[in-house]
Chain A
């Protein structure tokens, strides 16, 4: 661990953390550009980098974007990210009272506290899970993939059917290319570019970045921020003491929601806001510019930026869009998150821990320094911003394998992303299908070959049995929850 910490200063991890946070704050500050989109835009640029540096750059972007989202939330009442929606309530009220600087300072400080808490949880939880590594067989890997796919049930949003359909479409995309057992070509249409399959990065960039660009097309621009009177002011010692409780609440909520599949920063921020209000001695201030109303959600969503990596790093299962993009970064560099990552590439894991620590420190420094360029960027005309994002996307995608075909594929997935937004089909199930499809199919067939076609081998193997049992419980629980939510509301019960 000491070596990992030293690597902040001796390798490119430190500069990567600073660069990632800077990019994340800028991206997060742009309304409509979520952390996952900010990360997806950066993904192609990391192709030629050292894997550890690339992963730190992407993870730091996530950290920076979670703070960046609070800037327009406080200044122009428009959350830069979904998770910053709860910050709007009291952040903008404080701005209206002429306390925008204090509100931004509370957001930054609380984000730092939440981020550090999340990092400690990440380090403590991922290591024990990784100890299972050596006992994994193809049977267990298949079961792990199924457990990952069972997450689809809980991340399907309002429609379980649409989530399942998106998951299947993702699995279908994963079958394109060379068959893992026989080496035969499947769904390649004679194209040599498709022989190695469709890289998950193109799916991510298409669905998240280009899809959002298409969706934003024609949407009205956002309000301009007043840059003249905005200077960050850090909280006084008395305020520090007052903020300790909401920050603790936010950190706990962020931990629970970050680890749970489908939880994410938005839910945790609103839960933290509600709990902070419930436990506050100043409940009457909530909604009218309460510092605690900013501290709790900001601590929560920055905690999630670290804790969302627990299932992704230890089991290879992304629990949110942002961790799915980060997973794509791992895959692009030939790293497979999951149990064996800790055995085969411990330097990447330790480098990531060190990078996240540096990123949280960088967030405090850059959060203060980058305010002016950030406001300048938010105030640019929207057509220019969209044109430059488009230019970055096409240039970045071409850079991956210097292939124009890849730009075409990314545009195709962009159109698909737009269609999915239009039909209200969730993205994450498709992403899970794409990234887990190969793992599920190859290990399923390998396990059956080893067991002589005996399907009971998946239950006899203790790890596989437990994982499949968990997946079954998970799916049943989600189906029951969906059924309850769809049940018609009885007006007699709802009457006051």
Chain B
């Protein structure tokens, strides 16, 4: 592992440790708010959640401590040709791969999640067919597809295919939207 990649790992361990420490603290506090019950056993409904939170906090502290105390040795073997390239997170099941660090992954992941959230918001009004066509169209575009009639046609056909599969074939109701009220 080259020095840059090792530094990235240490940094990500520090961030992960801090985030889980905050999470364990919040979880512990919420566990304390679970009301007492007269039916409660010796352990009680708060018992194990509090134990889990304390164990997680202890592990998070170990991770933070290790991240802060580890020293990077000067890298004498690193090849200058790999500078500017960093190890991407384990984005594929085949493991780590080298890729130019040209674009932060957070906005593109957030964009994909936003498409899903917008789908949840609009589907009660627009209905399944149109919303799903929109989701397919937006995802295709966001993943590098063009905006043209062909993509729109594929999105609409895909939505019709899914509607036929779920609603007609499997008999599973999907949100109809406001369309039935117009009839």
Q: Which residues of A contact B (CB under 8 A)?
A: 32, 34, 45, 48, 79, 81-82, 85, 161-162, 164-165, 168-169, 171-172, 175, 179, 181-184, 186-187, 210, 212-219, 381-384, 386-388, 390-392, 394-395, 398-399, 402, 404, 407-408, 411, 414-415, 418, 421-425, 441, 444-445, 448-449, 453
Contacts and interface: CB of A to CB of B under 8 A. Distances in A.
Contacts of A184: 34-35, 37, 45
Nearest to B115: A390
A411 B116 contact: yes
A165 B59 contact: yes
Contacts of A445: 41, 43
Given A181-B39, A213-B112, A387-B139, 5 more contacts: A383-B139, A387-B143, A387-B158, A394-B119, A411-B120
A390 B89 contact: no
A441 B45 CA distance: 10
A421 B91 contact: yes
Contacts of B62: 161
Contacts of B30: 187
Given A215-B91, A217-B108, A414 B113 contact: yes
A421 B9 CA distance: 12
Contacts of A448: 41-43
B144 interface: yes
Contact of B139 (A179, A386, A415): A386
Contacts of A171: 48, 52
A269 B98 CA distance: 25
A187 B32 CA distance: 11
A404 B120 contact: yes
A82 B94 contact: yes
Contacts, number: 195
A382 B154 CA distance: 14
B173 A383 contact: no
A423 B16 contact: yes
Interface string B1-36: 000000001001101100010010001001100110
A384 B59 contact: no
A159 to B, nearest CB: 8
Contact of A32 (B15, B92, B172): B92
7 contacts: A32-B92, A383-B142, A387-B135, A387-B136, A391-B132, A391-B135, A448-B41
B90 interface: yes
A387 B144 CA distance: 11
Interface of B: 9, 12-13, 15-16, 20, 23, 27, 30-31, 34-35, 37, 39-45, 48-49, 52-53, 55-56, 59-60, 62-63, 66, 89-94, 103, 105, 108-109, 111-113, 115-117, 119-120, 123-124, 128, 132, 135-137, 139-145, 154-155, 158-159, 162, 166, 170-175
A392 to B, nearest CB: 7
A422 B42 CA distance: 40
A219 B94 CA distance: 13
B56 A172 contact: yes
Nearest to B138: A387
Given A216-B91, A390-B115, A422-B12, A169 B132 contact: no
Contact of A441 (B48, B109, B166, B172): B48
Contacts of A422: 12, 89-90, 105
Contacts of B56: 165, 168-169, 172
A407 B145 contact: no
B49 A186 contact: yes
B139 to A, nearest CB: 4
A453 B158 CA distance: 59
Nearest to B43: A445
A424 B89 contact: yes
A66 to B, nearest CB: 14
Contacts of B136: 387-388, 390-391
Contacts of B140: 383-384, 386-387
A34 B93 contact: yes
A48 B89 contact: no
Nearest to B131: A394
A387 B155 contact: yes
Contacts of A181: 39-41, 45
